[in-house]
């Protein structure tokens, strides 16, 4: 049981870092500000994404956006939580960390969608005129967790063969 509580620290840490960073951005960076961190590569900006990844559904009606995005995000969050519970029971440490990262990020973005109808994005990476989509700490948790899940699957595949 102690291990289960320790593994819940991962999603709680991601969620807490995500919320704290978004609160800081909301309070300190206006929609027109750009804070240059590494010239020519990385800025902090304040963007509001009403859609999902890469602003999909951003131009849809508010009812459709909220229904689809909150419903889909909520269902996926429950699914990832269940998968984490199963990983805790199985004792698969790498899978637990991966799913914890995904769960923390999913809850962070779901919180924004329910509370404000949009997700705050602020990490802006670019090289010259090439920009990556602006993202946040929750997105980083989700992506890092997905990569770790892929690695875990490859490790298990090699071990099984």
**Which residues are identified as catalytic?**
121, 139
DSSP letters along 68-98, please? IIIHHHHHHHHHHHHHHHHHHHHT-HHHHHH
From the list 19, 53, 152, the residue with the least C-alpha distance to 98 is: 152
CA quadruple 55, 103, 141, 11: dihedral sign: positive
For tokens 């240059």, the residue is 36
Distance CA 65, CA 48 (A): 14
Q: CA-to-CA distance for 13 and 18, rounded, in angstroms?
A: 8
């Amino acid at each position: 049981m102690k291990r289960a509580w320790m593994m819940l620290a991962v999603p709680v840490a991601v969620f807490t870092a995500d919320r704290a960073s978004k609160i800081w951005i909301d309070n300190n960076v206006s929609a027109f500000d750009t804070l240059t961190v590494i010239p020519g590569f990385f800025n902090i900006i304040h963007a509001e994404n009403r859609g999902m990844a890469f602003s999909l559904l951003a131009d849809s009606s508010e009812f459709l956006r909220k229904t689809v995005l909150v419903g889909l995000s909520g269902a996926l969050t429950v699914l990832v939580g269940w998968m984490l519970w199963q990983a805790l029971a199985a004792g698969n440490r790498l899978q637990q960390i991966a799913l914890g990262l995904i769960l923390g990020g999913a809850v962070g973005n779901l919180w924004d969608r329910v509370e404000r109808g949009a997700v705050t994005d602020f990490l802006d990476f670019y090289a010259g005129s090439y920009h990556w989509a602006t993202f946040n700490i929750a997105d980083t948790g989700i992506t890092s967790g997905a990569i770790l899940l892929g690695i875990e699957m490859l490790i298990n595949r090699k071990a099984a063969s």
